[in-house]
Amino acid sequence: MSNITISSELREQVRQAREAYLQLANLGTESKNQVLHAFAKALRANTSKILEANALDVVEAEKMVQSGELSESACKRVMLNEAKIELMAQNCESVAKLEDPVGKVLQATRLDEGLDLYRVSCPIGVVLVIFESRPDVVVQISALAVKSGNAVILKGGREAVHSNRVLAEILRQTADDFEEMPINALSLVESRDEVSQLVQMSEELDLIIPRGSNELVQSIQARAQVPVLGHADGICHVFIDANADPEKARKVVLDSKTDYPAVCNALETLLVDRELNPELLKKIMEDLVQAGVEIRACPDTQKKLEGHSQLEMGNASEEDWKTEHLEMVLSVKTVAGLEEAIQHINRYGSNHTDSIVTESRETAERFMNEVDSAGVFWNASTRFADGFRYGLGAEVGVSTCKTQPADPSDWRNGDLQIQTLWKRPGSGKLQQRGKEIHASAPGNLKNTFCPCFQKDITRDWLPRYTGTEIGEFGDYILLTNFDNYVTKFSERFEMPIRGEGGPMQTCTNRDGLTIINFGIGSANAATIMDLLSARHPRGVLFLGKCGGLKRSTEIGRFILPIAAIRGEGTSNDYLPPEVPALPSFKLHKFVSNTLIEFEQEYRTGVIYTTNRRVWEWDKEFRKRLTRLSTIGIDMETATLFIVGHANKISRGALLLVSDMPLMPDGIKTQKMDRRVNAKFVDMHLEMGIRAMTEIGEKGEEIKHFGY
C-alpha cells in the first residue's frame, strides 16, 4: 500500500480542498444557509439538464445489468426523475433550517478562578465520501458539508458518472456565485485509482465515509490509513407479534418491503410469531404477492399456509437470513416468540433498523431494549429510518459503528461528524495543588448553562409535571387552562388522560395531537413552554379564554391575537420588556382558515396579559387598558408567546371571549361561565383540533423566526 504513488494533480486537488475547508469553517450561518437555498433553486432550474445526463447513465447501467456487472436494484437506484430532483432541493432547504452545529459550547469547566475550559464543536476538515449508484447522494452530502463547515471530495460509482458530474457542476457553479463560499469545498473524483491514492493520504484527509455495499465498506477499511466511518448493509427485520393489530401489521409489512425495496432501510426478513392467527399471515402474504414480492419461507411458515394454493413460495435457506436482497424478495421465518425473534435479529441482522408490530407495551419495550440496532421501531415501517424523516435533514448514511454515533450520520452531532475542540481562556494562572476545581454544567461563553443542559433537566421534569413520558407527546400541542377541554378531547378520541391528580394533565390522540391542561396564570404558562422544549413540538396552539374589552368582542366571539402586551412581568425573565410578544403567523394562518371554514366571525388585535386576577374595580388600571386599545385581557398569552420564542417553539393562540369585564353586567360569574362552557367550548376545541391536524396532514413546517 505504501508504494502507491500519489499524482501531483490529486495532491493539488486535496490541497485546494483543505484551503477551502479553512475558509468554510469560519463562514457564518446566514451565508451557509444562503448557499443551501441557492443550491435548491439551481437544482430546480436545471431539472432538464440533470435528467438528460441521467438518461445516459441509465442506458449504460442497463447494459451493465445485462453483462452481470450491476444488479437490477443498483440500476434502479441510478434512475432520477422530477420528483427525486425536487426532493434533493427540499433536502437542501431542510439542512438550511437546521441549527448551525459549528461553534456550540458543549461543556464548560471552571478549573480555577479566572481559568475556564470550554468544549466547543468544530468541523472535521476534509472528508472523502465514496458511494455507489445513487447520484442524489452528491447533493445530500454537499449540503451537509456546507452546513457543517467541512470540505468534501466525492467519489461515485461509474454507473452514475454523467449524473454525478452534472450535479457537482451545478453545485460548484452555484457556490462560485458567493464571494465567501470557496468553490473547492466541493469536488469530485471518478476513478478507482484515485481512491486507492486518497485512502493513503493520512496527512491530508481527516475522514473517509464509504456509503454502499458491505464489500465496498470492507474494501475501504482494509486499505485506508485514514479513519473510516462505515455505512454498510441494511438487513432489516419486522417481527409480527401474536398480539399485533391486523391492519397495522399489514400496512407496516407492505410499506417496509414495497415502498422502495432497493434501499438500505427496506424490509428483508419478516419474522412471524408462531401463535399469530394464520388468517392474518395469509392476508399479509397475499398483500406481498399481489405487490409482486417473491416469498422465500421457512418450512414452519409454509406449513402454516398449507392449502392456500394461490401463494407461491420458495424455500428459505440459511443464506437468505444473511442477505440484503435490495429487490422484491422477502425472507419469512416463523419463530417461537419474542425471545427467538430477538435472538435471530441479533445474530443475522446488520444493526441497522428493526421493527416490532404489537399492541403490548411490555413486549415492545423489551424488543426495543434488547435488539442491538441503530433504529428500533414499534408499529412503524422500517422506511422511517432516514435522517430527513428524523427531522435531521439530509443524511450521509446510517452508521452502525459501535464507537461512533449509531444513527443517520448527519454531521450535526457527535465527536466525529462535528468534532469537539477544548478551549481554555486563561489569565496567566498556574495549577495550584490542593485547590478545589469546580466543574460547571455544559454552557456557552456568555452563560454557564446552555440549551443542552436545559434539555436534560426538562426531559426529567416534563414527565414529572404531566405524568406523561416524552415519547407519548405528539408533534402538535393544544394548551388549555381547563380540565373540561381535556375530558372532552379524551372522550372524543377514546384515549386515556395522563397525569390525573398531578399539576398538569394530558391526552394524546392517534394522529399525534396532544392536549395539555397546564393551569392558570403566567407562571404556569412559562413553565409549560419551558418543559415543552424537551419535546420541541412542531406547533403549539393555546385554546384560552379572555375578557373582551371592546363592544365588538362580545361573549362567544373568538380572538386571534396579532400580539400581546407583556403586563404580567413573568416574561421579563426571558427577554427584555421591549421585545414584542408575537405568535407564529403561519400557524395563525391555519387557525384563520379553520375559523372561516366553521363560518365563525372573529376579531384580530392586541391582547393585554396581566398577573392580576381581580382588577375590575381598579379605575386607573381600567383607564390604562382603554388607552392601550387592547381588545382582550388574559393571564397567559404574552407569556406563552415570549417563552415560546425564547425556546424556539412555534406558537399561537385562539381565545374565546368568556366575559366583558369593562361592562357593568359583563364581569364573569359562575353562572356565566357555565353558560359559556355549554354553548361555545365544543366548537372552540373542535376548531383547535382541526387547525393543528391540518398542519400535520399537510406536512407544513411552521418556522421559528428571530426578531
Residue 628 burial class via C-beta count within 10 angstroms: exposed 0-12, middle 13-18, buried 19 and up: middle
Q: Return the closest-CA partner of residue 476 out of 432, 408, 538, 410.
A: 538
**596-605 average pLDDT score:** 93
pLDDT at res. 40: 96
Please give the backbone phi and psi of residue 502, each rounded to the nearest 5 degrees, phi first.
-100, -175
pLDDT in tens, 284-340: 999 999 999 999 999 999 988 887 656 788 899 999 998 888 789 999 999 999 999
- Checking if the pLDDT of 245 tops 50, the result is yes
Q: How far apart are CA 413 and CA 681, in angstroms?
A: 44
Lookup result for grid cell 452502525? 400
Q: Return the closest-CA partner of residue 480 out of 396, 392, 541, 398.
A: 541
Q: How far apart are CA 397 and CA 394, in angstroms?
A: 9
Residues 585, 688, 564, CA angle at the centre, nearest 5°?
Answer: 45
Q: How far apart are CA 255 and CA 276, in angstroms?
A: 20
Confidence tier at 3 by pLDDT (50, 70, 90): low
Cα 300 to chain centroid distance, Å, stands at: 40
Q: Return the closest-CA partner of residue 275 out of 218, 334, 190.
A: 334
Which three cell numbers mark 562? 396579532
Confidence tier at 523 by pLDDT (50, 70, 90): very high
Which three cell numbers mark 14? 486535496
User: What is the separation, in whole angstroms, between the first and last Cα of the chain?
Assistant: 56
Q: How far apart are CA 574 and CA 555, in angstroms?
A: 33
pLDDT in tens, 434-487: 333 233 333 333 333 334 445 556 777 889 899 998 888 999 999 999 999 999
**DSSP structural state of residue 438:** B
Which three cell numbers mark 428? 496567566
Q: Which residues contact 682 (CB under 8 A, 6 or more apart)?
A: 488
Domains of the chain: 8-223 (3.40.605.10), 236-384 (3.40.309.10), 451-698 (3.40.50.1580)
Residue 338 burial class via C-beta count within 10 angstroms: exposed 0-12, middle 13-18, buried 19 and up: buried
Residue 582 burial class via C-beta count within 10 angstroms: exposed 0-12, middle 13-18, buried 19 and up: buried
Q: How far apart are CA 243 and CA 245, in angstroms?
A: 7
**423-434 average pLDDT score:** 33
Regarding predicted confidence, which is higher, 407 or 277?
Answer: 277
- Sign, CA dihedral 384-385-390-396, equals negative
Q: What average pLDDT does the structure give for the chain? A: 85
Q: List the alpha helices (DSSP H) in 155-298.
A: 161-176, 192-198, 214-223, 246-258, 278-290
Can you tell me whether residue 95 is helix, strand or coil? helix
Q: How far apart are CA 685 and CA 545, in angstroms?
A: 12
Q: Are 350 and 269 in contact (CB under 8 A)?
A: no
Q: Are 252 and 381 in contact (CB under 8 A)?
A: yes
- Checking if the pLDDT of 615 tops 90, the result is no
Can you tell me whether residue 544 is helix, strand or coil? strand
Q: How far apart are CA 409 and CA 396, in angstroms?
A: 5
Cα 13 to chain centroid distance, Å, stands at: 35
Q: Judging by DSSP bridges, how do beta strands 294-297 and 329-335 pair with one another?
A: parallel
Find the helix or strand (DSSP H, E) in which 638 lies.
Answer: helix 637-646
Regarding predicted confidence, which is higher, 97 or 335?
Answer: 335
Which three cell numbers mark 546? 379572555
Q: Report pTM.
A: 0.49
Amino acid found at 207: L
